[in-house]
Structure 1
Amino acid sequence: MGEDTVVAHTEERKGTSVNKSELIDQIADEADLSKAAAGRALDATIGAVSKALKKGGTVTLVGFGTFYVGKRAARTGRNPRTGAAIKIKSAKVPKFRAGKALKDTVN
C-alpha cells in the first residue's frame, strides 16, 4: 500500500468519526435534553450493556443490533521481538452484530 493510498483512506474516514462528547451533543439536541443529562444517559446505557455482557448475557436493540459475548480459542502466537512461540489463552470478547435496519441505513 503506497503513501497515496494511506492518505486517501485517512481522508475518506475524516469527518465520519464521532467521539463521546460529539455523541452526547447529538443526543442532547435530538432528545431535547441538557448535555449533562445526555451524558448521564449515555453512561448509563454503556454501563447496562457492559453489566449484561459481564454476566454472559446479550443485549438486543431491535433494528440496531445485538451485543453479545464471543469466545476466542487458545492459540499459539509469536513474540514479535524474538520470534519465539508463545501460548495465548482463550478469552471472552465483546462482539456486535448489526441489525437489519442499521445495515439498510448504512447501505
Structure 2
Amino acid sequence: MNKNELIAKVAKDAKLTKGEAGEAVVATLANIMRALRGGDDVRLVGFGTFSVTRRKAGQARNPQNGQMIKLPASKRPKFKAGKNLKKAVNG
C-alpha cells in the first residue's frame, strides 16, 4: 500500500474527503517526525512505538575497492510493533 492508497482508505473509513484524509495523514506523519527529531518517543498503544537510537561511529569496508571508510555517528529511527499489531499480522 502506498501513501495515496492509504489516504483513500482513511477517507472511506472515516467518511472524509480525500483532501481531508490526505491532510490528516500528512499531519500525522509530520508530527511523528517532529517528535522523533525532538528526541521524544511516539507510543501508539496496541500499534507500536517509534523511537530514535544512536549508532556509534565506526569503520566499514568499501565493497568496490576494499578500502576502509569511516562511518560517522548517526541517529536512526526505530519501530517496535505493539501486541495488537503482532496479533493482526500473525493470525
Which TM-score tier does this pair reach, normalised by the shorter chain? over 0.9
The residue number in structure 2 matching 1:58 is: 41
CA RMSD of aligned residues (A): 0.7
- Please identify the structure whose Cα radius of gyration is greater: 1
SS at match of 1:27: helix
Q: Distance in 2 between matches of 1:94 and 1:53?
A: 8
SS at match of 1:42: helix
The residue number in structure 2 matching 1:38 is: 21
Structure 1 stretches of at least 4 aligned residues deviating more than 6 Å after TM superposition: none
The residue number in structure 1 matching 2:89 is: 106
Q: Can you give the 5+ residue segments of structure 1 that lack an aligned partner in the other structure? A: 1-17
- Bigger strand share: 2
Greater relative CO, 1 or 2 (CA 8 Å, sep 6+): 2
Greater mean deviation of Cα atoms: 35-44 or 70-79? 70-79
SS at match of 2:59: strand
Across the two proteins, how many residue pairs are aligned to each other?
Answer: 90
Q: Which amino acid aligns with 1:60?
A: R
1:2-47 CA-to-partner distances (Å, cap 9, x unmatched) read xxxxxxxxxxxxxxxx000000000001000000000000000000
User: TM-score, normalized by length of structure 1?
Assistant: 0.81
Q: Can you give the 5+ residue segments of structure 2 that lack an aligned partner in the other structure? A: none
Identity of aligned residues (%): 50
